[in-house]
Amino acid sequence: MVVGEQRRAWVPAGLASATENGEKGEAATFDLELVEIIKAPAIPEDLLSPPRDAVRLPSGLILDVLKPGSGTQHPTSHSRVKLDFSGWKRDGTLFQSTVMAHHPAVFHMVAVIPGWREALATMVTGEKVRLWTPASLAYGPRPRRGQPAGDLVYDLELLSFDL
């Protein structure tokens, strides 16, 4: 398909999903339209090796400013932040991105991982950074189901925040 194309698809019972009880699914008909092709953000070239001029914090977090922001105020521990972000595992696997959905995320500072909290507290509106986040500042040695393990790399862009 190409963007804007519409198709009707008939799915026979043998290819349909089984029910919760394990029963064979029913045939279904779907009308489809390809609205947009979403491209994943490119894997950072410096994923495994931060630039020499990146800021190395005592916690082990490494921060590189990709785009400066404006303003002088920084989010506090009580702030609510609106941001775009993408996260990669060290093997280059993209595990989460608001950029692809064109829908920024809103978080309370107390609810984000420690590495984000530390970085966001230094940022101003419009600033975009890349973070090399040790596992201890991400989801820890035993992340919950669905959370990525190990060291992670994030791009964060602070769109706005309230004090």
Model pTM? 0.81
Chunked into runs of 10 residues, the chain (163 residues) has average pLDDT values of 94 76 80 91 95 97 97 95 97 95 94 97 98 96 92 98 91
**Strand blocks (E) in the chain:** 6-11, 28-33, 55-56, 62-67, 80-89, 94-97, 105-108, 128-133, 152-162
124 and 81 in contact (C-beta within 8 Å)?
no
Unique residue bearing structure tokens 């919760």: 20
Q: How many percent of the chain have pLDDT more than 70?
A: 97
110-146 pLDDT, tens digit each: 999 999 999 999 999 999 999 999 999 999 988 999 9
Residue 149: predicted pLDDT? 94
| CB neighbour class for 148 (10 Å; exposed up to 12, middle 13-18, buried from 19) | middle
The rounded distance, in Å, linking the Cα atoms of 63 and 153 is 10
Q: What's the pLDDT at 21?
A: 67
What domains sit in the chain, N to C, each tagged with a CATH number? 1-37 (no CATH), 55-162 (3.10.50.40)
CA 104 centroid distance within chain: 10
Looking at the DSSP bridge assignments, the partners of residue 20 are none
